[in-house]
A = this chain, B = another copy of it.
Amino acid sequence: MEITLDAPLDMHLHLRDGDMLKLTAPLSADFAGAVVMPNLVPPVAEPAQMTAYAERIAAAMDGREFRAYMTLFFTPMSEAALRAAQQTPGFFALKLYPAGITTNSEGGVADLAQAEPTLRAMEELGIPLLVHGESHGFVLDRESEFLAVYRRLAQRFPKLRICMEHITTAAALRLLDEFENLCATVTLQHLLITLDDVAGGALQPHLFCKPIAKRPEDRDALLQAALGGHPRLFFGSDSAPHPRCKKEACGCAAGVFTAPVALPRLAQLFAENGAADRLQGFVSGHARQWYGLRVPSRRVVLQDVPMPVPAAYRGFGQQVVPMFAGRVLPWSVKA
């Protein structure tokens, strides 16, 4: 069996920088492009930094065709500054982090009221707003507590395209259905796992991420929405490589590295649920439609031929452990 995709996109990707970028960027090359997160140290907050980062990504891709949809770390910006960003090649959106909520987000937004003039200008200019939507509350409530903020944003800025990034709850899906100006990304792992997989047996650091995986009914709702072809729900891997030593040490860093396994595992998931024909929309079509993206056509064929997943990806002095490390996935990308 085969599933043929046109120009699959990863709508939420961490590529890091330096040697980690060199190792991981090519591992996303089965995608035609990806929305690249700006939470480097320091964050990518200026067009010049963004351009330089895009060049480093292109260099790491080493000739592979790949469209990096670049984001700027949200800071208050004037309309002029936003216009300048918009005219910078590769620019796609602003990514808003509540301050201190995840990896390298210390410089994020502490008071959303101060962000309003920028949001108003973004709305006028048609610049999408991508949001890491978690409060600083109890770990299981952070996303649901943040939904009131999404609601207020969606109401106050009805023409602003707002993306609820990496949603993990059924409650977020219900909000998605309420507002036409909201979209959402969902990761591979949140379609598959619950907190049980992270901490129900032995503790599994390689499945630990933010937002943390939630309850079975949340996972089931996300999966049904993805398989059902929700037009405003997009695949975003949130693939987040950390050096092995930071994942397996005490105080493990948050993030699951899925870039190289995402398309095969998604193919398996959609095929075994009789939704193979909906994969194109989930990994490309819906996002292209909603954001009005023009992506060069690119044929990617997934086949039910096994893919052995290495215990780790190594190179440039880095070592990253992927999801399904050491296992065999029943689907693979056809060379």
In the complex the two chains form, what is the Cα distance from A204 to B199 in whole Å?
A: 11
Verify A138–B200 contact, CB threshold 8 A: yes
Q: Are B139 and A196 in contact (CB under 8 A)?
A: yes
A243 to B113, CA, bound (A): 50
Q: Which of A195, A196, A202, A206 has the most CB of B within 10 A?
A: A202
Q: Cβ of A194 < 8 Å from any Cβ of B?
A: yes
Assuming A203-B203, A203-B208, A205-B203, is B253 touching A195 (CB within 8 A)? no
A183-233 residues at the B interface, CB under 8 angstroms: 194-196, 198-206, 208, 212, 215-216
Kindly report how many copies of this chain are found in the complex they form together: 2
The answer, among B139, B203, B212, B215, for a CB contact under 8 Å with A252, is: B203
B residues in contact with A194, CB < 8 Å: 138
Q: How far is the CA of A208 from the CA of B204 in the complex (A)?
A: 11
List the B side residues contacting A253 at CB < 8 Å. 202
Q: Does A248 contact B (CB under 8 A)?
A: yes
Chain B nearest Cβ from A195, distance in angstroms: 6
Task: Answer whether residue A147 sits at the interface, using C-beta atoms and an 8 A cutoff.
Answer: no
- Looking at chain A's contact residues, the main secondary structure is loop
Interface membership of A80, Cβ < 8 A: no
Which residue of chain B has the shortest Cβ distance to A244 in the bound complex?
B250
- The answer on a CB contact under 8 Å between A250 and B215 is no
* Whole-angstrom distance between the Cβ of A140 and the nearest chain B Cβ: 7
Is B248 a contact partner of A199 (Cβ separation < 8 A)?
A: no
Residues of A within 8 A of B (CB): 138-140, 194-196, 198-206, 208, 212, 215-216, 248-254
The 6 closest A-B pairs by CB, nearest first: A202-B251, A139-B200, A203-B252, A203-B208, A139-B196, A248-B250
12 CB-based A-B contacts, threshold 8 Å: A138-B195, A138-B196, A138-B216, A139-B196, A139-B200, A198-B199, A202-B251, A203-B205, A203-B208, A203-B252, A204-B250, A206-B250
